[in-house]
Amino acid sequence: MRFGHNSNVKAGDATFHVQTEDRGLAHGLIDTTVYSQGMVLHRRTNNYFDLLPLNPQSEKTLKTRVDDQHRTVIQEIMTGVLKLHPPEPIVPKVEANSPSSEARTVPSPEPRQLRLELLNAKSFLVGKKVKLDVLVRDKQSGVAVAKASVTAEISGALLGHAISGETGEDGRVLLEFDLPQPGSGGAELVIDAIAGDAKAQLRFQLKAKAKVPQTR
């Protein structure tokens, strides 16, 4: 199982998005990336070759390392140990010496919007496994969005955690995890996508199968 976290961290007047993820057994890396306005400001990578091949005990150790690395980066941002410089905000330009006596303000572009699609919405449950084929597009142009952060979790489950990944050049990412046990009030699949300041979300209600009464 791949572990990961996504957090928004406020430091002064700036907000940073911190994403930590296990890059998978093929890479054996724990990767933490800090974004601001879609720009990568910091990346920290540590390997876990000493835990491979994974077993139940080393898998618990891996989860602890992922949690600790994510928490450490957040603490360094909040305490100022990690010096980050977010990009300057775009200031609308004012045209001087225009034909009219009044200066004209150039309107700022419309904020970017995302379109989030679950391509296998009717078949993402395979036994007790959840396999999500997610596509992120620009809502206006329909163009695939690469390097968007996508997070999925089962809301209302008794146990579980968020799984995250990053879209490729085709705007797609595959997220796989075990289906956690739902709570008494049912559960809901929640998928979030973030690319810079743009966000999108999908929600799917998971219906528990009714138990067939036993006859005596």
CATH code assigned at 41: 3.30.1450
Q: What is the mean pLDDT of residues 23-52?
A: 91
pLDDT at 22: 92
Does the predicted TM-score (pTM) go above 0.75? no
Rounded Cα–Cα distance for residues 116 and 136 (Å): 5
Residues 73, 121 within the same domain: no
Question: Does the residue 211 lie in any domain?
Answer: no
Q: What is the mean pLDDT of residues 13-37?
A: 91
Q: Which domain holds residue 123?
A: 114-206
Residues 72, 124 within the same domain: no
pLDDT at 130: 86
User: Looking at the predicted structure, is the pLDDT value of residue 95 above 60?
Assistant: no
Question: Does the residue 8 lie in any domain?
Answer: yes
The lowest-confidence range among 102-106, 154-158, 180-184 is 102-106
What whole-number percentage of the chain has pLDDT above 70? 80
Give the model confidence (pLDDT) of 146-165 as tens digits: 999 999 888 766 555 678 89
User: Looking at the predicted structure, is the pLDDT value of residue 177 above 90?
Assistant: no
Question: Does the residue 89 lie in any domain?
Answer: no
Where does a domain end: 79, 105, 124? 79
pLDDT at 85: 87
Residues 132, 197 within the same domain: yes
Question: Does the residue 156 lie in any domain?
Answer: yes
pLDDT at 58: 93
Question: Does the residue 74 lie in any domain?
Answer: yes
pLDDT at 62: 94
- For position 142, which CATH number holds? 2.60.40.10
Domain count for the chain: 2
pLDDT at 212: 42
Question: Does the residue 174 lie in any domain?
Answer: yes
Question: Does the residue 215 lie in any domain?
Answer: no
Question: Does the residue 35 lie in any domain?
Answer: yes
What's the chain's average pLDDT? 83
User: Looking at the predicted structure, is the pLDDT value of residue 215 above 50?
Assistant: no
Residues 73, 151 within the same domain: no
